[in-house]
Chain A
Amino acid sequence: MKWQADDAARQAFLSSHAHAALVSADMPLRANLAVLENIAVVPQYRDNLSYREAADVAWNLLLTAGYTDCAYKRDPALNHEERFVAKLLRAAVSRPDLLLIDRPAMLLPDTRYPPFVDELLRRMETHLNDCWILDYLWNKPLYAPR
């Protein structure tokens, strides 16, 4: 957890960790691609995989997260949780050294998000290196003691 006192502190923190993969409300999915394609496009482009190979990688991630139902949905058809998972997997698929989840409350407005995020990260732990959650200090009571 990385607690931030205010927005200025959060912005400064993000600037000092510009190399990290970001899961944020400011980083939307590509609207004309399905969730599977949004995730697959990263290995397909970066590692020059064929679409089939890249889609397999994306499918396995969705399977691990338990969200294969939304694989062929596009962004407008997703609920907040599915959209969050899609963004997380897109950021995680290239196995970055550091993954930052920025203000999960903005991404999951209708969910009691601390347990949801914890459970998702637990499922994905073999696919993630370091993962930090950025949240404001005033949301600290929502999280279980760590």
Chain B
Amino acid sequence: MIPFMSWLTDFLIRRGAAALSMWRTWRGIFRFAGQALTATLTPAAYNSATRMVVMKQIYFTAWQILLPFTLFAGLLSYVVIQIVVSTAAQYGLSEYALEMSMRVLVPEVLPLVTALFVALRSSSAINTEVALMRIHNEIDALEAAGVDTLRMEFMPRVIGGVVSVVALTAITSVLALALAYIALYGFQLWSLPDFTRVMGKVFDLTIMVGVWVKCVAFGLAVTVIPVAEGLATPKMLFMAPISVLRGMVRLFFVLMFIEVASLALKYL
């Protein structure tokens, strides 16, 4: 009986410590999200330095990858459209092909692929950079020089992430619409009224608001989680890769949670 009690106590202590650690991490993420959002919505938080860093972040996160990512998204969209169109034709459902392909691509696939791409390319870099800044004391050094690191370093990354995910999704969605038109009607313009009528039916106000809210949530996730995880890194160099690993795993689950929640809200 005593060994069992000892095992049980040990088990509960360890599980309790793990639960407390997870609670502290999520509290840190939500606290940072609150601070960053408050700073973002405060006009006084913007000055010359902040604006410059915001522009740099948008350049690095969106502009640098615009061409390759747009080409990839175009290829992916075209393949998905062709699959849906040919499958629909086999089942005699050609009239629904456009609607089906757009319902899958624009509100679901493209925002998620964009968020995953930005996460792989920028979030891992942000997590590593913030973790190293913390480990090397650069954050304290900037604060000591009178520079508010939330406004100067972190808030611009959040704005850059949100703007990048929203902008890249918008661009790739417009491209997907154009490709869908070409796939179905070919290179001519006189089917445009039919096309716009179907698109108007697919993208009603609720869907559009849902897509934009989801894109903003994705944009916040791909920046807030890596920054918060980097800020929570203990000041030991060997913890940097562990911080990035934890941040990326959390980010993946949050992105999936947002996607599943949006699907559940839409279809359940």
| A residues in contact (CB < 8 Å) with B | 21-22, 26-32, 41-42, 44-46, 48-51, 54, 90-91, 94
Which one of A22, A30, A46 has the highest number of Cβ atoms from chain B below 10 Å of its Cβ? A30
* A101, chain B: closest CB distance, angstroms: 14
- Chain B residue numbers with a CB within 8 Å of A32 are 129
Task: Determine how close the nearest CB of chain A comes to the CB of B141; give it in whole angstroms.
Answer: 4
B5 at the interface (CB under 8 A from A): no
Given contacts A48-B48, A49-B48, contact A31 B146 (CB under 8 A): no
A-B CB contact pairs (8 Å), 17 listed: A21-B145, A26-B140, A29-B138, A31-B132, A42-B146, A42-B147, A44-B47, A45-B48, A45-B49, A45-B147, A45-B151, A46-B146, A48-B47, A48-B48, A51-B52, A54-B48, A90-B145
Contacting pair A28 B49 (CB below 8 A): no
Contact in complex: B132, A45 (CB < 8 Å) = no
Q: Is the CB of B136 within 8 A of A45?
A: no
Contact assessment for A46 and B141 in the assembled complex, using a CB-CB cutoff below 8 Å:
no
In the complex, which residues of chain B have a beta carbon less than 8 angstroms from the beta carbon of A46? 146-147
- Taking the complex as formed, is B118 at the interface, i.e. its CB lies under 8 A from any CB of chain A? no
Chain A neighbourhood of B146, CB < 8 A: 42, 45-46, 94
Asked if B142 CB lies within 8 Å of chain A CBs, one says: yes
Complex: how many Å from CA A28 to CA B140?
9
Task: Verify A42–B145 contact, CB threshold 8 A.
Answer: yes
The answer on a CB contact under 8 Å between B147 and A27 is: no
Q: Which residues of B contact A49 (CB under 8 A)?
A: 48
Give the residues in chain A near B148, CB-CB below 8 Å: 45
A94 to B144, CA, bound (A): 11
Residues of B115-148 whose CB lies within 8 A of A: 129, 132-133, 136-138, 140-142, 144-148
